[in-house]
Structure 1
């Protein structure tokens, strides 16, 4: 038997997952969405075993304020020993507003704030599909931005639409009301609606080159020049390096801690910056060994690295390592989703395990350094 309180929890969960689409009116207007589910009325056996509970449950649904938007459907059950009984069978709540009110609490407050913000966006930029897609994609910021920042963002979007900025650097934008760092903090929100209004895939700004940190662990690999440096990928591509192994680490601390090692270069993968390594020939011509945090994002980075390189192995990214350091686990704040088809069977098992344990993370730096170096030695020696 689903109680009224349990039904409100279901409505809240549905509101949480669908609010962005409803606010955008995709794929249908918010007034037309509906939530319907059965209330799991008791069987005759259940009524006989606890008639008071069944009666209280039916009374609770009978007391619910019904309207055109909130409809409880009742059915007549004829039982041999209990007789004919009228029981609530299903609930239908129609319209996002009604679902929010039925949910109550924070879910209701968030929905009406998000809805109003979406209405303001449509009033400013028009109610076409491209803007609606922006509303759906930026539902989080729409809800979370304070009023001043929200209004400023809309003003900035309009200014950028009306004033081409090709060739400017981000901090050179002459827009009143924002400082030099504002766009960096709110660029995703601005870009979503700038794209919707103009069809452009970028603002046209001149960006700083992305630098990749590199340490050459074997001085014999270079005739002259620095052994520890950072450079953009196009400059890395010009280096005449021929390492046997390229180590790619997710975290900089591990890069900096590496001792000298024959024929080896270590690169700071810097999260999803591993994509930049596809343009570096000497990386593509070397065997790559990846070591990152043992969490879903670490495996997502490994997947992307492997998708752009033919010879990538991992180390310390297995279930045995995860379980051996259970006392060092922490929660992973934002787990990565989606398929990662390039993972090996062992990597997949580790990913499944950390997810089944509640999306945990074993940070790369927490593994004892002596054990990490031993694993790296073994990885570099394998198939050398």
Structure 2
């Protein structure tokens, strides 16, 4: 028989609750419409097993009879008149009209999760309602329909899994942090400066996305500056005439490095720090440590825009992914030693790449794309930057930089 059992209906309702609870909690949805067809039997099916049909109808009468205030539900019944069975009253549809009704019918962990998420979303709305009311017109009783209210709902929805996963104490702390940050406009702070018990840099690493989203939902996204130490870069000034300083190896926040009065003709961006440190004096040149996927921070250096930028990374899928990322910000970047010929010349130095990148890299040249295809075809191999002989690397860098930028004679 095709009759839908109570257990099967609960499975369907549980699936709907799991997929919709973030939306329902975020938007404080009071009414929903979850309808589940119960697939009543035909006369032929009843005749084939009247006991099963009767038990099935009885199970739905029992569900309807047990439904209390916390698990109200509606079952549509219909009279069927069959020639050989007579008149029978059968359930045809289960209707659940609120999220609480859905949760009450489902029961178990899913219902507990719903109630927790519902209550926490309500607490967030109540705690930050003043932000929404600030933009609502006088007398507007539905402040949560304002743009800010919608933004807060979107933040709750996007962070529902994290909101649900927190312990009670951790959730209260997260809300306290958001509330403190949005009401204390003190500029950029370090996590150590926040007067909230138990909050430190490690706490922010764990809860950054939630705090950022909720601050954005209250219209105070700029207050999130406390969460991040400004990214730092390391660079070497290879030509002492470029700047009036005795420093040639500098590590500092990007904003400070960007203000240096530099006008290099060529900027080398290397994935490997040892390559940066090994660079000789070079007329008009600066070498920057790209720091892997943080390489796009290089594009924030104001003085880099007018320079010839040369990137050299590991010959592996991640090296090309990093190059692709840099070139998405600085399209004119040239690569060096990231071609198929270099790969094949050093076959004896290959090692396996344990977790290759599989993304689509739209900013590679044809030469680079062929090298990437080849290393994948060879079984996801990699040629690390440091394995290439230094003399060979310098010659290729000279060629890439052009005649106007060559190392000083030593």
Asked whether the two chains share a fold, i.e. TM above 0.5, the reply is yes
Count of paired positions: 318
Instruction: State the Cα distance separating 1:123 from its structure 2 match.
Output: 3.5
- Write the distance in 1 (CA, Å) between the matches of 2:337 and 2:30: 49
Taking structure 2 as the reference length, the TM-score comes to 0.55
Which has the larger Rg?
A: 2
Distance 1:294 1:355, change over 3 A: same
Matched, 1:281 2:303: yes
Q: Give the 5 Å matches for 1:115-130.
A: 116-117=116-117, 119-125=119-125, 128-130=149-151
Which of 212, 217, 220 is matched with 2:233 structurally? 212
Instruction: State the Cα distance separating 1:21 from its structure 2 match.
Output: 6.0
Question: What is aligned with 1:76?
Answer: none
What is the RMSD computed on CA atoms of the aligned residues? 5.6
- Write the distance in 1 (CA, Å) between the matches of 2:394 and 2:16: 46
Question: What is aligned with 1:248?
Answer: 269
- Write the distance in 1 (CA, Å) between the matches of 2:290 and 2:21: 36
Deviations 1:308-337 (A, max 9, x none): 3352022455577499577421125xx686
Deviations 1:101-156 (A, max 9, x none): xxxxxxx9689647733641233325743233213332453354444323321232
Instruction: State the Cα distance separating 1:195 from its structure 2 match.
Output: 1.7
Q: Give the 5 Å matches for 1:1-384.
A: 24=26, 113=113, 116-117=116-117, 119-125=119-125, 128-166=149-187, 168-179=189-200, 181-197=202-218, 199-203=219-223, 205=225, 209-217=230-238, 224-239=245-260, 241-256=262-277, 258-260=278-280, 262-263=282-283, 264-270=285-291, 271-282=293-304, 284-291=306-313, 294-295=316-317, 298-317=319-338, 321=343, 327-331=351-355, 341-348=362-369, 367=384, 369-371=386-388, 373=390, 374-375=392-393, 377-382=395-400, 384=402
- Write the distance in 1 (CA, Å) between the matches of 2:17 and 2:120: 21
Instruction: State the Cα distance separating 1:378 from its structure 2 match.
Output: 1.9
Deviations 1:86-115 (A, max 9, x none): xxxxxxxxx999999xxxxxxx96896477
Distance 1:368 1:184, change over 3 A: closer
Deviations 1:168-212 (A, max 9, x none): 443212223434653354232112112212x12211756755432
- Write the distance in 2 (CA, Å) between the matches of 1:135 and 1:168: 25
Instruction: State the Cα distance separating 1:352 from its structure 2 match.
Output: 6.9
- Write the distance in 2 (CA, Å) between the matches of 1:165 and 1:226: 33
Secondary structure of 2:268's counterpart equals: strand
Deviations 1:222-278 (A, max 9, x none): 66412211133444345454544322133545534x342534422122333524534
Given that residues 187 and 223 in structure 2 are in contact (C-alpha distance below 8 angstroms), is that contact kept between their aligned partners in structure 1? yes
Given that residues 231 and 254 in structure 2 are in contact (C-alpha distance below 8 angstroms), is that contact kept between their aligned partners in structure 1? yes
Deviations 1:28-73 (A, max 9, x none): 99966899xxxxxxxxxxxxxxxxxxxxxxxxxxx9x9999xxxxx
Secondary structure of 1:262's counterpart equals: coil
Taking structure 1 as the reference length, the TM-score comes to 0.58
Distance 1:12 1:216, change over 3 A: farther
- Write the distance in 1 (CA, Å) between the matches of 2:297 and 2:187: 25
Distance 1:381 1:276, change over 3 A: closer
Given that residues 116 and 164 in structure 2 are in contact (C-alpha distance below 8 angstroms), is that contact kept between their aligned partners in structure 1? no
- Write the distance in 2 (CA, Å) between the matches of 1:122 and 1:203: 23
- Write the distance in 2 (CA, Å) between the matches of 1:340 and 1:111: 43
